[in-house]
Amino acid sequence: DSPVTLKILQNWVPKVSHYFDKEHYTYVGHQIVIQESIEHFGAVVWPGALALSQYLESNQEQLNLKDKKVLEIGAGTGLVSIVACILGAYVTATDLPEVLENLSYNISRNIQNMDMHKPEVRKLVWGESLNEDFPASTYHYDFLLATDVVYHQAALEPLLATMVYFCKPGTVLLWANKFRFSTDYEFLEKLSNIFNTTILAEFPESNVKLLKA
């Protein structure tokens, strides 16, 4: 099957905000308010997060997250984890220590009045202490989510090792990324050598590809 060609819909709610760093979105019938931070790359909503959130919302039958165990790596602002939570998943949102405070804040404020499984927020440094922090005998995820995680050359090997570690038989990896550099395609080639990889959707205007592995 050839990938679907889509536009990233501007799902912003037209609402005056008194904070320059808060963005308002609507997914799955819920308004989501995201606080961004200009201090960290991980605390900004990147195009891949919008693309994956939109795809999860639009393909709920094909990608049924209800009561599934979902791990997001490089969760950033938490937008994708919040959408997965609204769709009924048991979500663990992970990122670097310096991002966790803003990530926790966004998840708490958007989930607090909803009757759903509250996501867990945890530190995860790619490639480090994986079996100590997430023992393979205990942790098994149905879905591994990643958006715009391919950006820094030095992080690519640990990132791939982390994806391999968490993808057990039956795990589906959904990775959305804005393709900017040749290294992005090299990472895709390495991923395709390990996993059965297909492109689910492409967003040509923003150079985002959404892959399933």
CATH number at residue 154: 3.40.50.150
- H or E segment to which residue 73 belongs: strand 69-73
Between CA 125 and CA 106 the distance in angstroms is 20
- Report how many domains make up the chain: 1
Residue span of the structural domain in which 162 resides: 4-212
Longest CA–CA span in the chain (Å) reads 48
pLDDT tens string for the chain (213 positions)?
778 888 877 665 444 444 445 788 889 999 899 988 766 655 678 899 999 999 999 999 999 999 999 999 999 999 999 999 999 999 999 999 999 999 999 999 999 878 889 999 999 999 999 999 999 999 999 999 999 999 888 889 999 999 999 999 999 999 999 998 999 999 999 999 999 999 999 999 999 999 999
Q: Alpha-carbon torsion 9, 14, 15, 19, what sign?
A: positive
Q: 127 in the Ramachandran plot: left (φ > 0), alpha (ψ -120 to 50) or beta?
A: left
* Residue 3 half-sphere exposure toward CB, CA atoms < 13 A: 18
